[in-house]
Amino acid sequence: MITEKTKAQPLDGAVVAARIKDEVAGQVEAMAQTRDYRPCLAAVRVGDDPASAVYVRNKIKACEEVGIRSEHHALPESTTTEELLNLVNSLNVRDDVDGILTQLPLPRGIDETTIIEAIDPSKDVDGFHPINAGKLAMGRPVFVPCTPAGIIELLDFNAIEIRGLNACVVGRSQIVGRPMAQLLLQRDATVTICHSRTRDLAAGTREADLLVVAIGRAGMIGREHIKPGAIVVDVGMNKISEEQEVHALFGDAAEKRLEVVAKRGYTLVGDVHPAEASEVAGMLTPVPGGVGLLTVAMLMKNTLKAATLKHGLNP
């Protein structure tokens, strides 16, 4: 039952991510003990994008935490599509590699679609291959993109009944928006998808009991977009550093955020206006501390699943 409140209840991603990783760690250990096998994730990164380097580092660290083996293939910016294809093909045929991820975005010179389609669908732990996207669209998912899959786990963990809700997803990327809408549809929500060509965004979002936002614009979704009491999931991860912008978005909590800016040079903010949303929404994912942590946890879960399916191993 959704009720109107003055301060939204935070939906904590850290607790759920820790629980998922604990479960994976237990199953990986059981597989290692009984089958003498540990799953392996190969992470491929091309170029010098500092954000990509951080993401891959976090994924490798998570592998270490749950006992999954990992390989980090860091290639120079000058890598060609053909060279990257050769690496992907060599990982595809290796029996000791269960999951392959190529960190996106790839440098401009590389044909991203060709690379994604070259990954063996049974090792596609990001769930971006057309076969996995198609299976999800047909309601027969195997590997589901980690961010939307993590959001479903977050909702389930908090005992939020998805069935019958009016859900609105803002954003239609292959990575977040589209698979999110498919998963919510599969769970019997009534789903609306909004995007940059939507004529009246607020009219769409205000109908939503469950609003998932994945746009890539700091604080764009404000009070006027949110139905009072709605569950709001903020996928956005945007860096801001201007003092004025921090004040506008965080209100009373601005000082704390400005300390972060002073220390790191920026603070992270989602696509949802945090101060306004917390006054209107019933539940709200924080940024950071919400969806981002779940993405990495679900990657671990998908890698374990790939090993389990490929080797016919039960953990």
- Residue 237 as a binder of ligand NDP (CB under 6 A): the answer is yes
Pairing relation of β-strands 238-240 and 267-269? antiparallel
CA dihedral 4, 7, 11, 13 (to 10 degrees): 160
Beta carbon nearer to ligand NDP, 121 or 171: 171
The label of the residue with tokens 């790839």 reads 106
Which of these ranges, 93-101, 125-133, 229-237, 299-307, lies near ligand NDP under the rule CB under 6 A? Answer: 229-237
Listed residue (272, 298, 168, 297) closest to 216, CA to CA? 272
CA angle 188, 160, 283 (to 5 degrees): 120
Which of these ranges, 1-9, 40-48, 69-77, 290-298, lies near ligand NDP under the rule CB under 6 A? Answer: 290-298
Beta carbon nearer to ligand NDP, 21 or 69: 21
Query: Which of 291, 297, 298, 306 is in the footprint of ligand NDP by CB under 6 A?
Result: 291
Euclidean distance between CA atoms 232 and 241, whole angstroms: 24
Euclidean distance between CA atoms 144 and 8, whole angstroms: 29
Nearest approach, Cβ of residue 170 and ligand NDP (Å): 5
Pairing relation of β-strands 210-213 and 166-170? parallel
What x-and-dash track marks residues 145-184 binding ligand NDP by CB under 6 A? Answer: --x----------------------xxxx-xxx-------
Q: Which residue is nearest to ligand NDP (CB)?
A: 173
- Residue 215 as a binder of ligand NDP (CB under 6 A): the answer is yes
Listed residue (259, 140, 272, 137) closest to 201, CA to CA? 272
Nearest approach, Cβ of residue 133 and ligand NDP (Å): 14
Beta carbon nearer to ligand NDP, 115 or 194: 194
- Residue 235 as a binder of ligand NDP (CB under 6 A): the answer is yes
Size of the residue set binding ligand NDP (CB under 6 A): 25
Within a 13 Å sphere around the CA of 36, how many CA atoms are in the beta-carbon half?
0
- Residue 136 as a binder of ligand NDP (CB under 6 A): the answer is no
- Residue 199 as a binder of ligand NDP (CB under 6 A): the answer is no
Euclidean distance between CA atoms 315 and 313, whole angstroms: 6
Query: Which of 149, 214, 240, 254 is in the footprint of ligand NDP by CB under 6 A?
Result: 214
Euclidean distance between CA atoms 39 and 206, whole angstroms: 44
- Residue 195 as a binder of ligand NDP (CB under 6 A): the answer is yes
List of residues 6+ apart from 247 with CB closer than 8 A: 254
At 98 the three-state DSSP class reads coil
Beta carbon nearer to ligand NDP, 162 or 291: 291
At 240 the three-state DSSP class reads strand
Hey, which residues are catalytic here?
Answer: 59, 103, 126
Nearest approach, Cβ of residue 220 and ligand NDP (Å): 6
Which residues are near ligand NDP by CB under 6 A?
147, 170-173, 175-177, 194-198, 201, 214-217, 235-238, 291-292, 295
